[in-house]
Amino acid sequence: MVFDIRSKCFTDLVHSDAQLEEIASGLGFTEGPIWHPEEHWLVFSDIQESHQYKWSEGEGVRVFRTPSNQANGNCFDKSGAVISCEHASSHLVRHDHGGKRVTSIATHFDGKELNSPNDVICDSHGRIWFTDPSFGRIREDLGILREQELPVQGVFRLDPDGTLHLVADDFQQPNGLCLSADETRLFVNDSWGGHIRVFDVATDGSLTGGVVWADVVGDGEGVPDGMKCTRDGQILCNGPGGVHLFDAQAHCLGVILTPQKSTNFCFGGAEFSMLYITASTSVYRIPTKMIGLPMI
């Protein structure tokens, strides 16, 4: 069984006979996949083994960066450089030369170390948004056990001038985040809360709102984790059993079930309709009828 179908609309968005294909295996704990829309390669993290990998159809899996300071989520900035969240260092970093030279771009807030940056996105203004839960400080397999300096697990915005802003501070453990196609709404999920919240984004990047948009419920392993918005406004979010698909009105249409606990995903392929899913020790892909939003 590949799907948990909760609405007949699910098959309008995912082929009813689609199958998961494993493209990488034998890894530790995979996370943070991102797809380069022009060069057609995937970068993803192995937090547990402190590696980052690059995959392409022609060359398969090869090392992008090691050690990676137990990097987790990734995105591209406006220039096409890879931005990564590091659990072990508590830094947000930029790869200036394909994983060969790495520069820290956010490390502290109000004089205190960040917790363990987890997931990250970049908007069309060049602003970088990231979540900062404590997972890299409380799980030995995903970071380094150590005391937390900040009093909150928050959501941050890093502006192009280097100014860091705490834009939301009332999460238990914020994790995945994504912007709507027009960038007027920011969705952030809470792994321990089991739900997705939505904020209105002002032109200056400030947030208002924050109501619960949807609960992420089901059978199987997993919590709200990676999250993406499609061109047409659907929201996808990891959760129990696999990748949960919501319509624009927050109705869960169904779940793409994964053999292992799913952690994150991204859209890729020539048409940006192939879903690449990281799930524990493997990476999978599955074709869809949806169109994702390019990351650059």
Count structural domains, the chain.
Answer: 1
Q: Which CA distances in Å does 91 have to 97, 117, 144, 171, 179?
A: 18, 7, 13, 20, 22
* Domain presence at residue 63: yes
One digit per residue, the tens of pLDDT, for the chain of length 296 reads 799 999 999 999 999 999 999 999 999 999 999 999 999 999 999 999 999 999 999 999 999 999 999 999 999 999 999 999 999 999 999 999 888 899 999 999 999 999 999 999 999 999 999 999 999 999 999 999 999 999 999 999 999 999 999 999 999 999 999 999 999 999 999 999 999 999 999 999 999 999 999 999 999 999 999 999 999 999 999 999 999 999 999 999 999 999 999 999 999 998 999 999 999 999 999 999 999 998 87
pLDDT for residue 164: 98
* Residue 56 belongs to domain spanning: 3-287
Question: Alpha-carbon distance 214 to 223, whole Å?
Answer: 13
pLDDT for residue 121: 98
Which pTM was predicted?
A: 0.97
Q: What type of residue sits at position 37?
A: P
* Domain presence at residue 295: no
Q: What backbone torsions phi and psi does residue 108 show, to the nearest 5 degrees?
A: -135, 160
pLDDT for residue 295: 81
Question: Alpha-carbon distance 114 to 135, whole Å?
Answer: 12
Question: Alpha-carbon distance 47 to 141, whole Å?
Answer: 8
pLDDT for residue 114: 98
Question: Alpha-carbon distance 229 to 235, whole Å?
Answer: 5
Question: Alpha-carbon distance 115 to 109, whole Å?
Answer: 10
Tokens 């220039």 correspond to what residue? 79
* Domain presence at residue 51: yes
* Domain presence at residue 294: no
**Segment 12-18 long-range contacts (CB within 8 Å, at least 24 positions apart):** 12/289, 13/234, 13/245, 13/253, 13/288, 13/289, 13/290, 14/245, 14/254, 14/256, 14/286, 14/288, 14/289, 14/290, 15/287, 15/288, 15/289, 18/286, 18/287, 18/288
Question: Alpha-carbon distance 51 to 44, whole Å?
Answer: 9
pLDDT for residue 163: 98
Question: What CATH number corresponds to the domain at position 174?
Answer: 2.120.10.30
Question: Alpha-carbon distance 244 to 39, whole Å?
Answer: 28
* Domain presence at residue 292: no
* Domain presence at residue 45: yes
Q: How far is CA 182 from the centre of its chain?
A: 19
Q: What is the DSSP letter of 138?
A: H
Which candidate, 173, 175, 196, 200, places its Cα nearest to that of 186? 200
Angle at 73 between CA 16 and CA 207, to 5 degrees: 95
pLDDT for residue 98: 84
87-114 in b/e form (b: 16+ CB < 10 A) is bbbbbbbbbeeebeebeeebeebeeebb
* Domain presence at residue 296: no
Contact 155, 175 (CB under 8 A): no
* Domain presence at residue 293: no
Question: Alpha-carbon distance 215 to 219, whole Å?
Answer: 13
